[in-house]
Structure formats: structure tokens, C-alpha cells
Chain A
Amino acid sequence: MSARVPVIAGVGLSDYPKAPHLDAVGHHVLAFQRMLDDSGLEKKEIDGYMTAQGNFAAPDNGGTMAEYLGIDPRYYDGTAVGGSTFELYVQHAAAAIRDGQCEAIVMTYGSDLYTQSGTNPSFGAKQPGEVVPGALQYESPWGNTLIGAYAMAAQRHMYEYGTTSEQLAEIAVACRMHAGLNPNAQYRKPLTVEDVVNSRMIADPLHMLDCCVVSDGGGAILITTEERAKDLKQPPIYILGAAAAQTHWNIGQMPDYTVTAAARSGEKAFAQAGVRPEDIDTVQLYDSFTITALLMLEDLGFCKKGEGGPFVQTGALKLGGALPLNTDGGALSSCHPGMRGIFLLAEATRQLRHQAGDAQVEGAELALACGSGGWLSAMGTVILGRSTS
């Protein structure tokens, strides 16, 4: 019996960035339907399901969502570590497919964050005098914000390496340039470095335009065997490497504010894939904030630690450069419904299928997606290829 090779064989995105006609379940459903159309897979073949809502009271919790979609999984995953969850799902799904646990795994995501709240989720207490249990009882009393958490990493990176706001801004500028090629992107008007550094300071040193947008959106991805994908509609995209790592959960516990767990997940993923950073044609990195993507570029080995600032100023991240970043516009400009990891996989797949239109990275053979969950906490790195070699 030949080896079972895991591939991505179907992708669907729901309507984004604003979809008042959909609730969270509706995003799951629309993305799921589009994934089925994209792949040509018969729904009844699905025997694995993954989704990231662990709250049993929520209408889109994993068990209910599988029931709603009419999937009776024999392989199930409800891992929930925030934005990188879907990269972790690829790690798990690839292993499950290789191991013969199931034949066709679908992961779905849906969020009506924009329609519901218009803001990114905050963490810890939301009401005055709220009682906070566990590890957050040592952080919540201080009024740190989600942005403030990432700002702490940016502040330390600036202190240790002399990184500047202008350098961080280059990441937002590159993403906006690519958003201009994506008709669905939330913000498409070109940005300059000056626009970013002159935007309102939210949490020093992060400006408004260093921060991701707030959106609605959803996605669905099908992972099956290379063998099964032969009869499906799309060229299979090979999962060459997929690895995860975590260094901490709460920002106050981050061991080194300038290094994320992507250093470990990346090393493992590259080793599995048997490729090096210079072989990668495009990167889809979780740009919750400009600093998130900058740290990942260093941690994944695209430049040395501390040299992310000068690296992003070379223009490498823009289409036409050596390492185009977030070719759909990313979380900074296209969409961020709360947990964006599935969009990284969708865009990497679109690039490797050579279906990216004006945003196509010419001749893309290898793409890397890296998700960040929590507060630069749980990282998942996935390396995808048009072929196995």
C-alpha cells in the first residue's frame, strides 16, 4: 500500500469583510457550501470535522456545528488557541490522513464579529468590579488591552534592536498594496509609511494603522489524500510541513518579548518539508499587528533576529519582491473576523493553484502560512507546495 499523502483539495470563503445578512453559523455554512463547489467532493464523503468554538452554549460549538452541517465525524478536533488554530488543524489533519484515521477532513470557521460588536474582542474583565479568576487575576486589574499586549513586544524589539515605527509601517503598506488587488478587502486605498506613523497612537508604539481591521467572515478547508484528490476539481496542494509551538499564554508570561514560538514551529515545519526559507515564494503571516508579522519573519528565518526592520524596508514583501506577504491584504487591510488563521491557508492555496489573478506571485511553488494565537503565544506554521518535491 502506497503512502497516504495529505493535500488541501478544497477551499471556500464566506462573504467578507461585512456581512450583516449572516450570523456566525451562516458564515460556517456559506464557506462550507463554497468549499464543496470548489472541490467537487460529495458531502457524504466527509468523515472528519474541526472547528474552534469550545463554548457549548454557543450555537456554533463544535458538536452542534457538525450536527448542523450533517457531518458524522469519526475524526474530530476542537482545539482552540485563537488565530493559529487552523494551522494547528493542518498539523493534526495531515497526521490523521497519513494514519488512515479518516479520508476527508473539513475545518470550518465563521464569525460575525463586525456585525455584532464592531470591535476586536477584549480579554479579561469587561464590567467595573468584575471578579477575575485564574492567571488573569494578576493582569486584568491593570487595564492592559489587546493592542497593549502586542505593544509590549514592539517596545522591547525597538529597545533591543532599534526597530522603528517607520519600519513596522512598511508591513502595513505592503498589505494595503495587496488589498488594492482584492475587491473584497475592507480597506483598499493605498497607504504610505507617513500615513501609518501619523495615524492615532492606540498603545505606544502601535498606531491605529499598525492594527488589524475588524470584520465578519468565514472559511472552510478540505484536507484529503492525494489519491482521492485526483478525481476532484482542483489541483491538490501538498502539505509539506505543519508544526506548532507555544511559549506562554498570557502576555505577562512571554519569556522573551522579541521571540515567538514560531522559531520552534518554523524550524520543525521546514525540516519536515525539507526546504529552507529562501525557497519560499510567498508568505501568509498572521498580521494582527505589524509587529506580529515582523517577529514571524525573523523567527521563521527569513532574516536574522533583530534585522526584521531593515528587511521589510527592502521591498521584499511587496508583489514583485522576493517574498510577497499577505497577497489578499492580510488582517491589516483585508479582513480579520477574530481568528484569521483559515484565511492564511486559503490565500496560500490560491497562490499555489495559480488562481490569484492580479495578485499572483509568478511561478509560486512553495508558500508558508504562519498563524499566531493568544498574545503571540501559540504559533502554527504550515508549508504548502504545488508538488511533493
Chain B
Amino acid sequence: MSISEMGVEGRPVPELDPVSKHYWEATTRGELLVQECPSCGTRQFYPRALCKMCAKTPEWLKTAGRGKVHTFSIVRQNGNEPFKQWLPYAVVVVELEEGPRIMGNLVGSDVDDVHIGMEVSVDFVPLTDQASLPFWRATAPAVSDG
């Protein structure tokens, strides 16, 4: 077993723009946002200034921060800092319960256990004062009330 844990030090930093600043600001409160179109209902990620389907202006939608691994890769070679210190690590595309997909790192599991369909939950780690990074962890089995 080697449990994948990754830090945030040295990671690329998002350049906040007029749209992304709302998304990243929410991450600092522990909220994962996607967008929903008030006109056609399309939900989308990444955030845009328009609905990618009908071009109307979308609204923000707070997600439950849960989803399933839609696809992934285990990166075993990357010469770039800071990532090379964390090899091997899992890059996942998570399909959120609300529909849109989002890329991230899955941590806290053995990379050999990562699989499509794996249920995951978000776990924010502060990167800067203005942005926290949404990591993903295997969703703990529900605790029985009995």
C-alpha cells in the first residue's frame, strides 16, 4: 500500500478573472460551484461568462461536492516541480452529482485502487488567500445509525 498524499506548495496558481474570481472565492468558504443557465437549464464547468449551449448569462449553483470518477490517469512520470515529488499520483475527472465534470487529484487512496465509478467527495486545501484547491477523497461508507 502506498497512500497518495499531495501538498499544494508550488502548484500553479489560478489567475482570477471577472468570472473565475467568484468560483475561487467560494472555494475559500469550502463551497464548490458550477454554473446553471436560467434560460435552458444547462449546467457547466468550467465557469464561463455565457452558457455554452444558448449563450445566455449563467448563474452559480452550489454543489454537494460529491461525484464519481468518470476517468483518470495515474501519472508516473512528470519532471516538473512541484509534481515530481508526489509521483505516482492520480489525476481524476469527477462527474459531479449535479452533472458537470471537474478535474482534480484523488488523494488518500492507494493509486492502484483508483477506478472508474469510484465515489468521491471534495476536500479543500488552501492554496492562497484567494483560492483553495478542491481535492478528492474516496467517500467514506455511510455510518449506520444502528
Partner-B contacts on A (CB < 8 A)? 119, 122, 124-135, 137-145, 147-149, 151-153, 155-156, 159, 200-204, 206, 251-253, 257
Contact = CB atoms under 8 A, between A and B. Distances in A.
Please report whether the interface of chain A is mostly helix, strand, loop or mixed according to DSSP: mixed
Given A143-B80, A152-B72, 20 more contacts: A125-B12, A127-B81, A128-B10, A128-B11, A130-B13, A132-B14, A133-B15, A138-B45, A140-B12, A142-B91, A142-B105, A144-B75, A153-B71, A155-B116, A159-B71, A200-B77, A201-B76, A203-B74, A204-B73, A253-B46
A203 B77 contact: yes
B86 interface: yes
Interface of B: 10-15, 17, 20, 45-46, 70-83, 86, 89, 91, 93, 101-105, 116, 127, 133
A338 to B, nearest CB: 18
A145 B133 CA distance: 18
Contact of A202 (B10, B20, B77, B91): B77
Nearest to B133: A141
Contacts of B79: 119
Task: From B45, B74, B81, B91, name the one whose CB has the most chain A CB atoms within 10 angstroms.
Answer: B91
A127 B91 CA distance: 19
Contacts of A206: 73
A143 B75 contact: yes
Given A128-B81, A202-B76, A156 B15 contact: no
A75 B35 CA distance: 42
Q: Which 10 A-B pairs rank lowest in CB-CB distance, beginning with the nearest?
A: A128-B10, A125-B12, A137-B14, A151-B73, A143-B83, A133-B15, A204-B74, A140-B12, A148-B73, A252-B103
Contacts of B78: 143, 145
A131 B12 contact: yes
Contacts of B74: 151, 201, 203-204
A126 B80 contact: yes
19 contacts: A122-B80, A127-B81, A129-B12, A130-B12, A130-B13, A138-B46, A138-B102, A139-B103, A143-B78, A144-B73, A144-B75, A152-B93, A155-B72, A155-B116, A156-B116, A251-B103, A252-B101, A252-B102, A257-B71
Task: From B10, B11, B17, name the one whose CB has the most chain A CB atoms within 10 angstroms.
Answer: B11
A145 B82 CA distance: 13
A385 to B, nearest CB: 38
Contacts of A119: 79
